Amino acid sequence: MSFFSSHNGIVKKSSFRSPLGHGIFSGVLVSLLVSLALQLIPLTSNAADNTPFTVNDLAKIQQKLMNTDDSMENLSSLYHQTVNNIVNAYMDAFTKNNSDDKALTAPPKNDAECSAVGATMNLSTYCLFLRIDTLYATYSKSLRVKQSTVLQDINAIQHGGEYQEATANSYVSRQKWINKELTASQSALDSVLRSYSELLIQYPMHLEYQKTLKLLIKYYDHLVDVRKKVDTYPARFQDVTTANCT
Amino acid sequence: MKRPLLLSLTVTLLLIGAAVRVDHDVGMGRAVRMARSAFAATDSPTLDPPPTTHAVFSKLLQGVGISNPNGEITSGDVFGDTPKNLYIYTYQQIFERPDKDAMLELAGAYGLTLVDAQAVLQGSVAPLMRGKINYTQSKAVADVQKIQKSYSEILRQRQMKYDLQLAVLPTEIFSNGNLDDSGFDLINDLNLIEEVLFVDKTKVYLNQQPFGPKSISLKDAVQKIANIGSTGTSSNLAGSSGGGTANPSSDTSLASNQAKTFTLDDILKSSSASGNPLNYCASGSPLNKALDQYAQSGADSTNNTSSDTTGQSTNSGSPVVATSIENIDVSTMTPPELVQVPVKSQGVFMPPTNSFCNEIGGTLLYTYRTKIGGSEHEIFCLSLEKKIRTYTSFSPTKTCIQCTIAAMNEDMKKLLSKNITPNKLTGNTYESTKCKSAIQLSDRLNMNIIMVPTPVITPNKYGPFVTGDFSKRLNAYVRNYLPYGNPKDSTPERVKDEALANAGANADQVNVVDQIQAQLAVNRKDFINNQSIQPIQDTGASKNASYQQMIKEMRQMTAYFQSFQDIFVRLGTNAQNVCDKNDVNS
């Protein structure tokens, strides 16, 4: 069971993804819930300067992602860049966090804990997921809208007697591209979240190994110092016999 | 006027109807019907083509500050000093790699370029027919279909490969022994620790910096000597500044000159051809023979030889001929006495065939005129050789801790096999014939290193990777993740059985089915409610606990190493004290 799928049920409860999902009103409802969710999670940009963590930044990005008139290339680039920046910021914040406070990486008891910012920002995978999921839901929804638009386009042209093979090919390739993008986006998100989860666990181990390794190198240096002195013993003690006690 | 208005309203309503369905998996036929109706009276909108993969990733990488004209994120872009771009790297692996790899394999298998292979996959027969005479259209079409089928199979295999890789990669990315896909790797860390402890390695790199005793190669030694010469005597060796020569080409650095080896003939030819004598070290010098002749000729002949060498009068005493070699400290040979011969301007460097410098043929490194004794036209022959010898039994190829300990014990074996405690004449009955203070010294020498294996403390019962009650976790997993909760009482079969059992004799089939559906709905709702964050917390906490335990063990082991290190520091002091004892140093 993937991390993504295992969280799906939770996210439905906690994020703006509407369980209704029906009709034109769902778009309005989704927008409202997006705003509401963003208000509940006051994200701020302190993990990385170039990361859109502020409420306004995220709201603007989501607004752009909702713009289905924009090209798929722009939507895709915007979404993946944003997610990449957020993941970068979390990884950066975690690896630079010298605190021994395990609570920062422990899963939150409730979603509200993910709203903590600054030094007490919850760096758990769940909170990272919660932030990205809002963007993912918006992006995937926009892609589906465009997918539906494509369907209308091709039938309009066909019905108008202007059907062309090239247009049909374009329609098919766009459908394929969107389907592939939807799958790849979800898999990439799932994969990177699991990687981040591993990072939380294994990076501290790595630091301990590094400490051990550095100590061993010092250990070895001291051992070599001893050896350099001891190596001269056989030569120094040759023909040193004396009849006098010293 | 009414008809267009009615049509417009119809269009509007149908458009809304279409929009209502945009986020649902509606049936194709219904959507098509709606769309046909909606756009029957509208202008045909334009279709923007799907973005190319290259365009998407180029823009994406440019957006995150990665400059790559191929639109590929490389492993070097992932992690580095700080972890970064793992998401895009993963995304590209998923989105693009299977297709790209399959295309490459297909093109290679059929001897096509990538462009041709793509064209064939799109149905073009032109790339196949190009340059072929007896190749019919029908055969080409058949081959296109064959290639397309082959591509599908290759792509399926590649997709499977990446799916499997994707399933494993996230959990192993930091512990697969590969630093290319991550900034750190636990297996790599352990390998490094193992190398320091046990494995013989010439060099062990940590952050590209070798540690341990440095061994100097002959090449490095030579280069080092060259550097000493070029820096210590730069004002004179440079030629252009010290000797006042006007020839700019003689301003060749020593290091570059050292890179080549010339025979004396080459030097002479070069000198005569360009007027630029090169101070190169010739190869294959009969130095020993020349030295023997020099020794036989006696001290007086030296003056004669030098006079012959220069071809000019010299009454300044013996020229300095440095031939030795290991005893010369080249760093101290900074000469105000040595001035390079301004050859071109004075034309003095034409070693006659019978000169001493020529006899040693090619060991000539530099020619100088000296100011010793007031003469300025002496040829100064200098041969430098540096011999590096290992001054202890320490072998630089053994850089592991175990190797060092083993070598120390081996070296000490011979010494400790003998009793080196000095004897004395016994003065009293039963008195030891050994010097008492030396006995204490002897005890110090009886050094040995004992390695005590430390047991690794691991969580009992389940080992280091599973903590807590496994069955309890399994139950939690079943309760929260399986579709209908606890299989003991919530599986569809159990629900069906219970519904049949409770139906009674007069219940009809519809009632039983309704009851089953109702119960399943309740169970499904319970399942959704139960699907809380708790299992994830448990999973994370379990893994964290395991690694926390391992971290404790690592810290304990590090503490042992720290204590050993402290022991070695004291041991080194004691070893020095032994060396410093008067009787030992005498």
Give per-residue pLDDT as tens, A74-102.
888 899 988 998 888 888 888 887 666 66
Instruction: Report which of residues B557 and A22 the model is more confident about.
Output: B557
Which residue in A61, A202, A221, A228 has the most chain B C-beta atoms within 10 A of its own C-beta, making it the best mutation to test that interface? A202
Residue A52: predicted pLDDT: 43
Contact B498, B519 (CB under 8 A): yes
State whether B48 and A211 contact (CB < 8 Å).
no
Residue A229: predicted pLDDT: 77
The rounded distance, in Å, linking the Cα atoms of B307 and A246 is: 61
List the single range of A145-149, A235-239, B447-451 with lowest mean pLDDT.
Answer: B447-451
- pLDDT above 70 for A246: no
Residue A175 placed within a domain: yes
| Short-list B575, B145, B165, CA closest to A228 | B575
- pLDDT above 80 for A197: yes
> Which pair of tokens denotes residue B376?
């300025």
User: How do the domains of chain B map onto residue ranges?
Assistant: 2-39, 53-172, 219-374, 419-451, 470-572
* For range A43-67, the mean pLDDT: 64
* B:1-20 residues touching chain A, CB 8 A cutoff: 16, 18-20
- B35 near A CB under 8 A: yes
DSSP B361-379: TT-----EEE-GGG-S---
Instruction: Place A148 in a pLDDT band, splitting at 50, 70 and 90.
Output: confident
* B:73-92 residues touching chain A, CB 8 A cutoff: 82-88, 90-91
Q: What is the ipTM of this complex?
A: 0.73
- C-alpha dihedral over B577, B581, B585, B586, to 10 degrees? 180
Which residue in B85, B87, B529 has the most chain A C-beta atoms within 10 A of its own C-beta, making it the best mutation to test that interface? B87
Residue A238 placed within a domain: no
Residue in chain A lying closest to B424 (CA): A243
Report the alpha-carbon angle A171-A176-A177, nearest 5: 95
State whether B405 and A84 contact (CB < 8 Å).
no
Report the alpha-carbon angle A76-A81-A84, nearest 5: 125
State whether A240 and B586 contact (CB < 8 Å).
yes
Residue A243 placed within a domain: no
Residue A217 placed within a domain: no
| Short-list A30, A228, A243, A13, CA closest to A144 | A30
Report the alpha-carbon angle B305-B310-B313, nearest 5: 85
Residue B329: predicted pLDDT: 45
Domain tally, chain A: 1
* B:296-315 residues touching chain A, CB 8 A cutoff: none
| Short-list B402, B394, B401, B193, CA closest to A222 | B401
Which residue in B30, B52, B53, B90 has the most chain A C-beta atoms within 10 A of its own C-beta, making it the best mutation to test that interface? B90
Q: Which domain holds residue A34?
A: 3-206
- B543 near A CB under 8 A: yes
Across chain A, mean pLDDT equals: 70
Residue in chain B lying closest to A2 (CA): B167
Residue A137: predicted pLDDT: 87
- pLDDT above 60 for A209: yes
Task: Select from B481, B558, B564 the Cβ nearest to the Cβ of A211.
Answer: B558
- Listed as ranges, residues in chain B with pLDDT below 70 are 1-49, 68-71, 74-83, 199-398, 418-422, 426, 436-498, 503-506, 523-546, 579, 581-586
Residue A34 placed within a domain: yes
Q: Write the pLDDT tens digit of every residue in B449-495.
A: 555 555 555 444 444 444 445 455 555 555 554 444 454 555 566 66
